[in-house]
Structure 1
């Protein structure tokens, strides 16, 4: 079975280590991101938004120098896939303490985000060190085999590679 077939079925690409090992690995990656000189982890959602199941951990990072005076803060979302060593970075957005935007293929950032170049380089360095590939919209937009069905509320058929690796089931 191909890795994409396994992902569409919400299975780990590799059975080595299991779910607990994957969660521990992602927690180490998030901690490493939190030690970056220009970025801080504002929030990492390991709990599937309070319901359902997410095939990724949503990490919202902000600039270290940003003040957090109000309830809304600008940052970047990074989705760390639980099924394989992949990640997707999303265009900057504003988050409030009560609202978490779900990842969308249309918001995937390709290359360094304008105004966030240094922060993007730092993120890529951490991901590279941990062996995580940062996927761009060109790859994530590729169509899945039409026979594959992905249980997700984030997208509709025809499914894309994005849907296989980054899905959420409510």
Structure 2
């Protein structure tokens, strides 16, 4: 059901206007219910055998509004962590969990950096970075993430669906994309 919802014109109009596009499950209970559910999903992701959640952004990046929760997942064994000159770089898989419907997008490997005095860097979700298949060397990790999302009835969307154009005239307030907007922009947008 969630995969069909992803390209439904009425659902996309609601999502583009920051309105929940689903009335099922946690979405029937409003914002607090959705946030609680997504926290539960993140906790489940953090219990995966080979992976752990290194970081999660529930706070809309400190301002504005994000239609998704930004989750960064890395290998539990520390093999993707490198430290040098006070900085630590960690390779992992960014995952966006949609706040508007039970949908998610997984992105290609990225590196999160952290340094002295809390300095750091990270990327933001982009359609061009959505991964449709397991990345070489990350096959088992990709499978585990998919299993957790499936267990919570969250559809992992691919670039083919996310790249579909939105209906003419539909606008999305976002810093993550530009017109002409697509399905990705409706579900995964951020405005400061």
> Which TM-score band (shorter chain)?
over 0.9
> What count of residue pairs does the alignment treat as equivalent?
170
Kindly report structure 1 stretches of 4+ aligned residues shifted beyond 4 Å: none
Partners of 2:111 and 2:122 within 8 A in 1? no
Measured after TM superposition, the shift of residue 69 of structure 1 is 4.9
Please tell me the root mean square deviation across aligned C-alpha atoms, in Å: 1.1
Match of 1:14 in 2: 22
SS at match of 1:4: helix
Match of 1:116 in 2: 138
Measured after TM superposition, the shift of residue 52 of structure 1 is 1.2
TM-score for the superposition, normalised by structure 1: 0.97
Q: Distance in 1 between matches of 2:21 and 2:138?
A: 31
- Per mean C-alpha deviation after superposition, the further-off stretch among 13-22 and 64-73 is 64-73
Q: Distance in 2 between matches of 1:3 and 1:89?
A: 21
Measured after TM superposition, the shift of residue 166 of structure 1 is 0.1
Match of 2:99 in 1: 82
Match of 1:60 in 2: 72
Measured after TM superposition, the shift of residue 100 of structure 1 is 2.1
Match of 2:4 in 1: none
Question: Gapped runs of 5+ residues in structure 1?
Answer: none
- Per mean C-alpha deviation after superposition, the further-off stretch among 15-24 and 76-85 is 15-24
Match of 1:132 in 2: 154
Matched, 1:39 2:73: no
Q: Distance in 2 between matches of 1:150 and 1:69?
A: 38
Measured after TM superposition, the shift of residue 139 of structure 1 is 0.3
SS at match of 1:42: strand
TM-score for the superposition, normalised by structure 2: 0.86
- Per mean C-alpha deviation after superposition, the further-off stretch among 48-57 and 27-36 is 48-57
- The Cα offsets for residues 51-73 of structure 1, whole Å up to 9 and x where unpaired, read as 11100000000001125452111
Measured after TM superposition, the shift of residue 147 of structure 1 is 1.3
